[in-house]
Each structure stands twice: as C-alpha cells, then as structure tokens.
Chains A and B, each alone.
Chain A
Amino acid sequence: GQNIDQPTEMTATEGAIVQINCTYQTSGFNGLFWYQQHAGEAPTFLSYNVLDGLEEKGRFSSFLSRSKGYSYLLLKELQMKDSASYLCAVVDSNYQLIWGAGTKLIIKP
C-alpha cells in the first residue's frame, strides 16, 4: 500500500528553527509537495521537490532524498503566524497526490 508518515504534532518557540519530517512509500514518485494549512482554511502551497537536495525559499526550506523516501520542511525564525498544520503530499506513478495526515505545529512565545 501507499503510505506517508509525518509526526502528528510538534511544538517550537518563537524565533527558533523547526524541522518537520516526512517519509513515504508510494508506487512510483513524481514529486513531493509541502502545504501549509491554517485551521478552517484550504491548504496553501509552500514547496515542490522532484530532485534530491535542498530548495530554499525565504524562511522555509524543503529537502528531498528519493533513495531514502524522505523529505523535511525546515522553518527558520519562527513566527506566531506559522502555527498551522503542514501537509506532505507525494505524486505517485499515476500522477495522483497521496496526502500525509499533516503535522500540527504549535508556536509558543
């Protein structure tokens, strides 16, 4: 079967750095997305990785290792508004999106 694993919940301090991990086992791989979702709202796009390595975009960076079936989202200089759920999603061989359950990130002052 296809599976995406992320931690259910994480807590971090304002101004700090946090890394949210995602491991996947899917039938084929055509890219991995990270989305941010605030409560009651639709997800918003953060990043897309299809090649190994680190993609940096402002305070957010995303890393991919296809051989390990592993990705992480790195958030720097955390702000209170970063409190949200972070969803990892993999595009499989049929170009379907397989979603993780999301990681709820709680930022404390």
Chain B
Amino acid sequence: GAVVSQHPSWVICKSGTSVKIECRSLDFQATTMFWYRQFPKQSLMLMATSNEGSKATYEQGVEKDKFLINHASLTLSTLTVTSAHPEDSSFYICSAVQGDAAYTEAFFGQGTRLTVV
C-alpha cells in the first residue's frame, strides 16, 4: 500500500515553545490530508482537513491560530503546535487520501507523540 511518513515520532518540548510535525506521502500525491489527535484510551478526533494550496478546514473547538496547518505541496502537510502547553500533550496522527477519487482508503502516518513539560 501507499506510504505516509510522519516526523518526528516523538517530541518533548517546554511549555510555551512551538513544535512542527511533518506528514509526507512518499509514493503518491495527496490532494487531501487529515490531522487527528488521540488522547489515551479515546477515539481518534479529527482536528482539521487540509487541501493542497488552500486553507485548512478546522473542526469545531480546534483553535486554528494554535494549530497551524500548511499543505504547500501534494506530498507535504505540516502541523505546528504554537505556544504548546501540557494539555496539548497527545498523540497526533496524519492521514492522506490519494488522488481525486470520491473516497478511498486513508493511509496513516506513524503518529507523533507530543509531551509538553
């Protein structure tokens, strides 16, 4: 299957700093990428949908100024957690959908475990 690479796998940062997470589709063009957050023992929660070349669409309750998403190319989307706080500590996962199909399988990155101290 298609490969989505997410980097870094884990990161520890100090409260108040910013962290950037990258999501790359390695062998296909991803017109749409999704960013999820997962707290322990809970379901995946969609944060935002990002389409190449346009602004991301954020889910209700997700602060767009805090979670900056950039989808500058068909193979790269980034999520920047700005002014991180301990409550932002979570598992962040990206997924990408290939091409223009109405809907196809979503390929997931490996996830990034963020710990804010």
Residues on A facing B (Cβ under 8 Å) = 30-31, 33, 40-45, 48, 87, 91, 95-97, 99-102
Give the bracket for the number of chain B residues in contact with chain A. 20 to 34
Interface residues of B in 19-53 (CB under 8 A from A): 34, 42-46, 49
Interface string of B91-117 (1 = CB under 8 A from A): 101000000001101111111010000
**A42 near B1: Cβ-Cβ < 8 Å:** no
User: With A and B bound together, what is the CA distance between A91 and B67 in angstroms?
Assistant: 24
Task: Give the residues in chain B near A97, CB-CB below 8 Å.
Answer: 34, 46, 106
User: With A and B bound together, what is the CA distance between A42 and B106 in angstroms?
Assistant: 12
Task: Give the residues in chain A near B46, CB-CB below 8 Å.
Answer: 96-97, 99
Residue in A31, A43, A48 whose beta carbon sits within 8 Å of that of B108 in the complex: A43
User: Which partner residue on chain B sits nearest A47 by CB separation?
Assistant: B105
**A45 near B105: Cβ-Cβ < 8 Å:** yes
User: Which partner residue on chain B sits nearest A95 by CB separation?
Assistant: B103
**A42 near B109: Cβ-Cβ < 8 Å:** yes
Task: Give the residues in chain B near A30, CB-CB below 8 Å.
Answer: 102-103
Name 16 extra pairs, CB < 8 A, besides A31-B103, A40-B91. A33-B105, A40-B111, A40-B113, A41-B110, A42-B6, A42-B93, A42-B109, A44-B108, A45-B1, A45-B107, A45-B108, A87-B44, A96-B49, A99-B43, A99-B45, A99-B46
